[in-house]
């Protein structure tokens, strides 16, 4: 079945805040959502029609899940590719397992992007300390050592400033397959979120600037303060990657803008993205409605914004500021239904809209 009409059943792998906002968007469009994940009383399950609490490798649970839905998508990429392959034999899965095979592994991801002729930081695969020494001799310092898999929000990575100080850094990686990347002196980090439908139609949200605190996204400014030429190039890159990877769904492409206005792709995320939360208030069709349209085979909506915006993450105890946030009538507050606040934990976000003629 190519098109899933309203009234259909959407399965979401993953049960966090992205799944929560996807489920809410789907419900507004007349769909029923069944969320699958390991967490009890998860943010997504709180607002979904059905939920299954199980491991992603539980085949009995996966069988029942597949029977209950018309299409399956995901809210984060660290799901076993074997799970997607298994489910795809029973029901359409969008995006497919190959997309995850590439985006789960930083080395495969960089190779894929480089083979398209799109710029990235210089990089090298590292399987042991001897390869790390060789990679540093080629790439130089400072450089960034990252685990190939599972790292996010600054986890699983370390900066190398001196080639003589690598022993404790490699021990910290615990021998995990890694990638060494050149340290990029960038003036701005941006991201573009692109949707691609079953028929190959694409739609891009404008490039936005992302500012981090302790390696975690703190603020997104929409749009990014870059030239029209750079903005167009960033969107072209996102569309080319989404097309060549055969995406159905949503892809966030994180990029660096260097001091000489070169664009280098940093990472890919085949799902809704934290840097797209501003679209809920600032666009006629936000990123969560857009992914539902894409995976259900519907025509994509216009991504054009009707306002500029500033989105700020509420991390850890920032959530305690909700009374102050609501004192400003122009703030839109989103809380994720999570339990205990922890340092760096994304508890919610707040978006403020600005006129189109005012820079964020």
| Closest CA relative to residue 192, chosen from 122, 260, 257, 281 | 257
Residues in a beta bridge with 352: 310, 331
Q: How many CA atoms lie within 13 A of 125 on its CB side?
A: 9
Q: Which residue has the tokens 């399956």?
A: 72
Q: How many CB atoms lie within 10 A of CB 306?
A: 11
- Cα–Cα distance between 295 and 95 in angstroms, integer? 8
357 sits in which H/E element: none
Pairing of strands 123-126, 143-147: unpaired
Q: How many CA atoms lie within 13 A of 195 on its CB side?
A: 29
The confidence score (pLDDT) of residue 277 equals: 98
Helix, strand and coil percent figures for the chain, each rounded to 5:
30, 30, 40
User: pTM for the full model?
Assistant: 0.95
Q: How many CA atoms lie within 13 A of 317 on its CB side?
A: 1
The confidence score (pLDDT) of residue 1 equals: 57
Q: Which two tokens stand for residue 24?
A: 């809410």
Q: Provide CB contacts within 8 A for 252, sequence distance 6+.
A: 191, 192, 193, 268, 269, 270, 271, 272, 273, 275, 276
- Cα–Cα distance between 13 and 65 in angstroms, integer? 10
Pairing of strands 308-315, 263-269: unpaired
Task: Compute the mean pLDDT over every residue in the chain, rounded to the nearest whole number.
Answer: 94
Q: Which residue has the tokens 């339990």?
A: 339
Positions in the chain short of pLDDT 50: none
36-94 pLDDT, tens per residue?
999 999 999 999 999 999 999 999 999 999 999 999 999 988 999 999 999 999 999 99
Residues in a beta bridge with 123: 181
Q: Which domains does the chain have, with CATH numbers?
A: 9-93 (3.40.50.20), 122-182 (3.30.1490.20), 186-354 (3.30.470.20)
The confidence score (pLDDT) of residue 107 equals: 96
- Cα–Cα distance between 294 and 300 in angstroms, integer? 6
How far is residue 303 from each of residues 55, 195, 306, measured CA to CA in Å?
35, 9, 10
Q: Which residue has the tokens 């789907």?
A: 26
Q: Which two tokens stand for residue 188?
A: 């701005």
End-to-end CA distance of the chain: 43
- At residue 133, the 3 state secondary structure works out as helix
- Cα–Cα distance between 161 and 304 in angstroms, integer? 42
- Cα–Cα distance between 20 and 337 in angstroms, integer? 9
Alpha helices in the chain (DSSP H): 17-28, 59-67, 81-88, 97-103, 106-115, 129-139, 167-173, 228-244, 279-282, 287-295, 322-327
């Amino acid at each position: 079945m190519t098109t899933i009409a309203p009234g259909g059943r959407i399965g979401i792998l993953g049960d966090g805040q992205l799944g929560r906002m996807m489920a809410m968007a789907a419900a507004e469009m007349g769909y029923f959502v069944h969320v699958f994940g390991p967490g009890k009383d998860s943010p997504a399950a709180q607002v979904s029609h059905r939920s299954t609490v199980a491991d992603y490798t539980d085949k009995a649970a996966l069988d029942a899940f597949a029977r209950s839905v018309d299409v399956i998508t995901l809210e984060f990429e660290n799901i076993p590719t074997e799970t997607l392959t298994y489910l795809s034999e029973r029901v359409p899965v969008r995006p497919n397992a190959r997309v995850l095979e590439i985006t789960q592994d930083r080395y495969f991801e960089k190779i894929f992007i480089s083979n398209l002729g799109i710029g990235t930081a210089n990089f090298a695969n590292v399987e042991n300390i001897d390869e790390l020494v060789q990679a540093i001799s080629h790439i130089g310092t400072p450089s960034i050592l990252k685990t190939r898999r599972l790292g996010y929000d600054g986890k699983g990575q370390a900066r190398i400033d001196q080639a003589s100080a690598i022993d404790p850094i490699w021990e910290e990686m615990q021998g995990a397959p890694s990638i060494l990347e050149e340290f990029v002196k960038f003036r701005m980090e941006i991201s573009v979120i692109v949707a691609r439908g079953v028929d190959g139609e694409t739609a891009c949200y404008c490039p936005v600037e992302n500012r981090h605190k302790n390696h975690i996204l703190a603020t997104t400014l929409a749009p990014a303060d870059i030239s029209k030429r750079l903005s167009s190039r960033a969107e072209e890159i996102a569309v080319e990657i989404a097309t060549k990877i055969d995406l159905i769904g949503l892809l966030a492409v994180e990029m660096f803008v260097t001091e000489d206005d070169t664009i280098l792709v940093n990472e890919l995320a085949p799902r809704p993205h934290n840097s797209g939360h501003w679209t809920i208030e600032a666009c006629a069709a936000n990123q969560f409605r857009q992914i539902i349209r894409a995976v259900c085979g519907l025509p994509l909506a216009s991504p054009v914004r009707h306002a500029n915006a500033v989105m700020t993450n509420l991390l850890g105890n920032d959530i305690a500021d909700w009374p102050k946030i609501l004192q400003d009538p122009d703030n839109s507050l989103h809380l994720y239904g999570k339990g205990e606040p922890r340092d760096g934990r994304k508890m919610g976000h707040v978006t403020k809209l600005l006129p189109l003629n005012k820079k964020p």
